[in-house]
């Protein structure tokens, strides 16, 4: 097992501040202890000097489509349905496993550079994504896009594919969580949703789904089933504590109560929702309904955000809701928890804090970075002032993935991803 000691680093406290300097000892993939400086002197394979840095838990991106980095800036400023049907879906039909591999590699690099250690992904060519994650050193929950288009034969094919992927996933890195990924109510039949429900219950799997993202989606569900989306999923027994619902923008009070009743998890994607004019998630009402601990933040894909910087997402989330209510809504500490402790709980990971016994998923911020000067209030600086460029070092699963803002092989990776993206979009 490898060992790391981070010497003399400030450690983010539970209240969001930074205390006196500490030494952090890492053995294997766990934080062994956090001590006062030089209380213990012992050898370690790697020594990181932490002076002028602060250690924070690695960030979680709870909803994205990683390989869509290849489509960053390709189709902007369009209505959602036109964006999907005219631009995104026609290109995605041409995607190969190798394309998805390189797109996900690019996403992993971007996330490492901006302090994210875990992401929850739904995209095509599962094996390409899994290979990229395994090589990157990050953690991920991966699901294949399950879409049957209400076609019975396609539904059976999707079921068989997901069964194969589930069994194959047992041979993957233990940093990868296999998740079922039914796309949405408007692309997946009731028969398939019930199959997902039963398969997930049998194998205790998380389920990742888009839910109530747009008004049109709600109207379509009412027209098809005579109920709003959450009511419909409740009626077929689909909702559970394993369900991870992305977006959840258009919800009634009754739907909020149902989500709480089933302890369903919710992923807020404010930048994407703003860009696509999908609406505003009812965050205050969710908190009133007792759902706060079940909410996390995500960026969505790079075609609708257009980056994977969770520092930016925390700021946007907080400001988005303040703009429509008052300055006290979603204070900085809450926004930070939506990117750390809440998703760690959601994805059943022993992380989200810098404490002995936790997974060694640690990010060091450079306190000399101009955005972090002066440091009156660390949590405010992190949420309202910082961005991914403030990240100096990233450790995930006890491995150093970035040091001094350098990631091994990043220039070659960017060049290859650029080549793949242009070939994909130009159809050559």
Q: What is the DSSP string of 181-232?
A: -B--TTTS-HHHHHHHHHHHHHHT--EEEEES-SHHHHHHHHHHHSS-HHHH
- Numbers of helices and strands, H then E, in the chain: 16, 16
Q: What is the CATH number of the domain that holds 12?
A: 2.30.40.10
Burial class (CB in 10 A: 0-12, 13-18, 19+), 416: middle
Rounded to an integer, the average pLDDT of 78-106 is 92
Answer whether 320's CB lies under 8 Å from 268's CB. Answer: no
Between strands 59-64 and 53-57, the pairing is unpaired
Dihedral pair phi/psi, residue 146, rounded to 5°: -100, 105
In a domain, 417, yes or no: no
> What is the tens place of the pLDDT at every residue in 197-245?
999 999 999 999 999 999 999 999 999 999 999 999 999 999 999 999 9
What is the reported pTM? 0.97
Do 139 and 246 lie in one domain? The reply is yes
In a domain, 421, yes or no: no
In a domain, 101, yes or no: yes
Q: Using the predicted structure, report yes or no on whether residue 298 has a pLDDT greater than 80.
A: yes
Instruction: Work out whether the CA dihedral 211, 216, 218, 220 comes out positive or negative.
Output: negative
- Please tell me the distance from the alpha carbon of residue 254 to that of residue 322, in angstroms, as a whole number: 24
Do 32 and 175 lie in one domain? The reply is no
> What is the tens place of the pLDDT at every residue in 36-65?
987 777 789 999 999 999 999 999 999 999
Q: What is the mean pLDDT of the chain?
A: 96
In a domain, 416, yes or no: no
In the chain, the number of structural domains is: 2
- Taking residue 383's Cβ as centre, other Cβ atoms within 10 Å add up to 24
In a domain, 352, yes or no: no
Q: What is the CATH number of the domain that holds 231?
A: 3.20.20.140
- Please tell me the distance from the alpha carbon of residue 386 to that of residue 400, in angstroms, as a whole number: 22
DSSP state of 255: H
- Please tell me the distance from the alpha carbon of residue 302 to that of residue 21, in angstroms, as a whole number: 37
In a domain, 424, yes or no: no
Map 127-180 to HEC letters: HHHHHHHHHHCCEEEEEECECCCCCHHHHHHHHHHHHHHHHHHCCCCCCEEECE
Query: Which residues constitute the domain of residue 401?
Result: 3-57+359-410
Do 256 and 300 lie in one domain? The reply is yes
Between helix 126-136 and helix 152-169 the angle, nearest 10°, is: 20
> What is the tens place of the pLDDT at every residue in 320-368?
999 999 999 999 999 999 999 999 999 999 999 999 999 999 999 999 9
Do 45 and 122 lie in one domain? The reply is no
- Average the pLDDT over each of 14-18, 111-115, 327-331 and give the range with the smallest value: 14-18
- Taking residue 21's Cβ as centre, other Cβ atoms within 10 Å add up to 18
Do 52 and 172 lie in one domain? The reply is no
- Please tell me the distance from the alpha carbon of residue 58 to that of residue 28, in angstroms, as a whole number: 17
String of b and e for 319-331 (b: at least 16 CB within 10 Å)? bbbeeeeeeebbe
Task: Identify the helix (H) or strand (E) that includes residue 366.
Answer: strand 362-366
* CA–centroid distance for 294 within its chain: 14
Do 242 and 118 lie in one domain? The reply is yes
In a domain, 237, yes or no: yes
Q: Using the predicted structure, report yes or no on whether residue 428 has a pLDDT greater than 70.
A: no
Do 196 and 63 lie in one domain? The reply is yes
- Please tell me the distance from the alpha carbon of residue 92 to that of residue 183, in angstroms, as a whole number: 15
- Please tell me the distance from the alpha carbon of residue 339 to that of residue 400, in angstroms, as a whole number: 21
Longest Cα separation, the chain: 68
String of b and e for 4-16 (b: at least 16 CB within 10 Å)? bbbbbbbbbeeeb
Q: What is the number of residues in the chain?
A: 428
Do 319 and 366 lie in one domain? The reply is no
């Amino acid at each position: 097992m490898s060992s790391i000691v981070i010497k003399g680093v400030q450690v983010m406290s539970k209240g969001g501040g930074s205390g006196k300097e500490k030494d952090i000892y890492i053995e294997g993939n766990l934080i062994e202890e956090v001590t006062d400086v030089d209380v213990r002197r012992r050898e370690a394979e790697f020594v990181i000097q932490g002076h002028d840095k602060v250690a924070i838990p690695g960030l979680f991106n709870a909803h994205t489509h990683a390989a869509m980095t290849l489509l960053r800036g390709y189709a902007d400023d369009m209505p959602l349905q036109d964006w999907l049907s005219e631009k995104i879906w026609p290109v995605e039909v041409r995607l190969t496993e190798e394309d998805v591999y390189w797109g996900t590699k690019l996403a992993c690099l971007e996330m490492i550079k901006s302090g994210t250690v875990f992401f929850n992904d739904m995209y095509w060519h599962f094996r390409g994504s899994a290979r990229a994650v395994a090589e990157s050193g990050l953690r991920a929950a991966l699901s294949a896009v399950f879409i049957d288009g209400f076609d019975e034969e396609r539904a059976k094919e999707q079921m068989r594919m997901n069964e194969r992927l589930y069994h194959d996933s047992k041979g993957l890195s233990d940093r990868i969580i296999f998740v079922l990924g039914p796309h949405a109510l408007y692309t997946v039949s009731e028969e398939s949703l019930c199959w997902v429900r039963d398969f997930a219950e049998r194998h205790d799997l998380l389920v990742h789904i888009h839910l109530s993202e747009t008004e049109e989606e709600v109207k379509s569900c009412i027209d098809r089933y005579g109920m709003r989306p959450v009511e419909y999923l409740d009626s077929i027994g689909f909702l559970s504590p394993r369900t991870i619902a992305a977006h959840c923008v258009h919800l009634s009070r009754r739907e909020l109560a149902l989500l709480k009743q089933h302890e369903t998890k919710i992923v807020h994607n404010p930048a994407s929702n703003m860009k696509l004019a999908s609406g505003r998630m009812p965050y205050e009402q969710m908190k009133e309904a007792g759902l706060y601990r079940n909410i996390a933040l995500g960026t969505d894909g790079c075609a609708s955000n257009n980056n994977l910087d969770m520092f930016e997402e925390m700021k946007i989330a907080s400001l988005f809701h303040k703009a429509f209510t008052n300055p006290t809504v979603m204070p900085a500490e809450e926004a930070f928890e939506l990117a750390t402790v809440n998703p760690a709980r959601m994805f059943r990971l022993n992380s989200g804090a810098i404490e002995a016994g936790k997974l060694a998923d640690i990010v060091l911020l450079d306190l000399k970075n101009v955005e972090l000067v002066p440091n009156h209030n660390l949590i405010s600086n992190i949420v309202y002032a910082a961005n991914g460029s403030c990240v100096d070092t990233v450790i995930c699963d006890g491995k150093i993935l970035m040091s001094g803002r350098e990631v091994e092989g990043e220039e070659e990776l960017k060049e290859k991803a650029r080549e793949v993206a242009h070939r994909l979009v130009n159809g050559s």
